[in-house]
Chain A
Amino acid sequence: MGATHLKCRECATEYALEASFVCNRCFGPLEVAYDHTGLGDDPAATRRRIQAGPQNIWRYADFLPLAAPPAPSQRVGSILGLPAGCTPLLKADRLAERLGLGEVWVKNDAHNPTHSFKDRVVAVAAARARELGFDTLACASTGNLANAVAAAGAALGMDSYVFIPSNLEEQKILATGIYGTNLVKIRGNYDDVNRLCLELSGEHESWAFVNVNMRPYYAEGSKTLAYEISEQLGFRTPDRIVSPIASGSLFTKIGKGFREWLDLGLIEGDVPIMSGAQATGCSPVATAFGEGRNVCKPVKPDTIAKSLAIGNPADGPYAIDLANQTGGTIDAVTDDEIREGIKLLAETTGVFTETAGGVTTATLKKLADRGEIAKDERVVLVITGDGLKTLDAVRGSFESYEIDADVASFNTTVPTPTEVTA
């Protein structure tokens, strides 16, 4: 494999490719380091090999921290597990027009096995967990990860323990428990769940906590969003990415994915301008960015965007660095703007997203209204999850007609455009 070791992002101490996530010296997060020698020698050949790969993230196996891709490279079928990725990139002309922008695309990651981008990170973490000999998966989750881990456990025949805040959306709880996982609802917020899981991971060393001890591998899965977007644009980078920020991991790994492929000469362009999106009710990263700091002061979340409700975001500083390096932005939007964002995306693109996508869409609108986005920019909006997961957010947001089953009732109740007869 191309991965060579784990490396501390703070002090550069190196570690073996095992289930560890934090530097023993300085507590900095560990990240996977690679030797990609050879992959950039003949970019056209590497691109061809990628294009001939399976229709899922394993087409990017050379860039993921696995000893071997977990299943034979079938194009569409799967021998093992739930293949994630290769989700649609949709040109969103009506959304662009509504916002007065030139070119907008929607990366619809709701098109994953459990309807969020978390299937990407879980696929990588679970595959690496199997390689390292773990038999149990676990996670601390704000909901989407819970769905993905429970489903992956079922698909791979592994036991799983899923820890969530007890006040999560009912849809996310139901779409987790059905997979037969050990579902543990914590009386507390996500940061409480995370703290408990950290303590438990020290006590259960045979468990692969995908976002604790497997975190370096897990996080790499998010890079595949950058690979896919560039491949779908003809091996070019877009000019700007608008992506949600919770812990900051997805946002920074999208940047890393573009950087890796640019360094190898696989794609043309530059690292896109990175625009981050948070909810006002949980915006420690946007606040620190706005104040010109890169240390995030923890907050107590209070927002309908529960999947983004991480009050103490560990990758926040890196997200801020990336936004600054690329001339980007990090904004926060209110719950009302989030609801309007969900509606705007649905009405103009046919994509129904959960609250996190409402945050992203509302942030795009905010940037457009502020004149931040140049007319010639190619913008990609990263939609991370499905609207069916957060139905309460849209309840009462539209009107419908209830009529008797006869034409007269229809004609008197439902307004229609005047018919033109030839």
Chain B
Amino acid sequence: MSVTVKLPTQLRDAAAGNAAVSVEGTTVGEALEALFAEHGELRERLFQDGELRRFVNVFVAGEDVRYLDGLETAVPAGGELTILPAVAGG
């Protein structure tokens, strides 16, 4: 099942300049693995010790996957997965 992964500007150089990449997968983890298979450099940028880095946020339908099931979170067919850096505010 095809899923669209939206990349922030900081990651586009590691994904051949693409702002979005279409990959196969039914969970966040599967989609990201498929993304890394195409653009290997992204793995180290997003993961540390097999987990999402502390300052990497991944959203499915606008919801942070840390509120959901993390990398096990289901992504619907045709769904969108957005990667963004964590930034404080106020």
Contacts A22-B10, A298-B66, A312-B64; is A199 near B82 (CB within 8 Å)? yes
Stretch from A24-32, A54-62, A226-234, A388-396 at the B interface:
A24-32
What number of A-B contacts does a CB cutoff of 8 Å give?
101
Contact B88 A198 (CB under 8 A): no
Residues of B within 8 A of A26 (CB): 45, 48, 53, 55
Question: Which residue of chain B has its CB nearest to the CB of A250?
Answer: B90
Contact B89 A27 (CB under 8 A): no
Complex: A10 Cα to B64 Cα, angstroms: 22
Complex: A310 Cα to B55 Cα, angstroms: 15
Complex: A314 Cα to B85 Cα, angstroms: 9
Contact B57 A295 (CB under 8 A): no
Stretch from A92-100, A137-145, A265-273, A345-353 at the B interface:
A137-145
Contact B89 A247 (CB under 8 A): yes
Is the C-beta of A114 less than 8 angstroms from some C-beta in chain B?
no
Is the C-beta of A208 less than 8 angstroms from some C-beta in chain B?
no
Is the C-beta of B87 less than 8 angstroms from some C-beta in chain A?
yes
Complex: A298 Cα to B89 Cα, angstroms: 14
Shortest C-beta distance, A414 to chain B (Å), equals 43
Selected from A195, A212, A313, the residue in CB contact (under 8 A) with B59 is A195
* Count of chain A residues with a beta carbon within 8 Å of a chain B beta carbon: 47
Question: Which residue of chain B has its CB nearest to the CB of A121?
Answer: B90
Shortest C-beta distance, A250 to chain B (Å), equals 7
Residues of B within 8 A of A27 (CB): 10, 45-46, 53, 55-56, 85-86
Interface centre among A28, A140, A219 (most CB of B within 10 A): A28
Is the C-beta of B15 less than 8 angstroms from some C-beta in chain A?
no
Residues of B within 8 A of A195 (CB): 57, 59, 62, 82, 84
Shortest C-beta distance, B84 to chain A (Å), equals 5
Stretch from A105-113, A186-194, A363-371 at the B interface:
A186-194
Shortest C-beta distance, B40 to chain A (Å), equals 15
Is the C-beta of A237 less than 8 angstroms from some C-beta in chain B?
no
Interface size class of B (residues with CB under 8 A): 20 to 34
Residues of A within 8 A of B59 (CB): 195
Contact B53 A297 (CB under 8 A): no
Residues of B within 8 A of A141 (CB): 89-90
Contact A249 B55 (CB under 8 A): no
Contacts A26-B45, A191-B64; is A145 near B89 (CB within 8 Å)? yes
Is the C-beta of A172 less than 8 angstroms from some C-beta in chain B?
no
Residues of A within 8 A of B10 (CB): 22, 24, 27
Question: Which residue of chain B has its CB nearest to the CB of A219?
Answer: B88
Question: Which residue of chain B has its CB nearest to the CB of A211?
Answer: B89
Contacts A27-B53, A298-B64; is A199 near B84 (CB within 8 Å)? yes
Interface centre among A142, A298, A307, A312 (most CB of B within 10 A): A312
Q: Which of A127-163 contact B (CB under 8 A)?
A: 139-142, 144-145
Contact A249 B56 (CB under 8 A): no
Question: Which residue of chain B has its CB nearest to the CB of A384?
Answer: B90
Is the C-beta of A290 less than 8 angstroms from some C-beta in chain B?
no
Shortest C-beta distance, A129 to chain B (Å), equals 17
Contacts A27-B56, A198-B8; is A21 near B90 (CB within 8 Å)? no
Is the C-beta of A317 less than 8 angstroms from some C-beta in chain B?
yes
A144-B90, A300-B67, A313-B88 are known; give 15 further A-B pairs, CB within 8 A: A24-B11, A26-B45, A27-B45, A139-B89, A188-B62, A191-B64, A192-B62, A195-B57, A195-B84, A198-B87, A202-B8, A219-B88, A310-B90, A314-B55, A314-B88
What are 29 of the A-B contact pairs (CB < 8 Å)?
A21-B85, A22-B55, A22-B85, A24-B45, A25-B45, A27-B46, A27-B55, A28-B55, A29-B86, A142-B90, A145-B89, A192-B62, A194-B87, A195-B59, A195-B62, A195-B82, A199-B82, A202-B8, A211-B88, A211-B89, A247-B89, A247-B90, A249-B88, A249-B90, A295-B54, A312-B57, A312-B66, A314-B86, A314-B89
Counting from the closest, the 4 A-B pairs by CB-CB distance are A247-B88, A314-B88, A22-B85, A27-B55
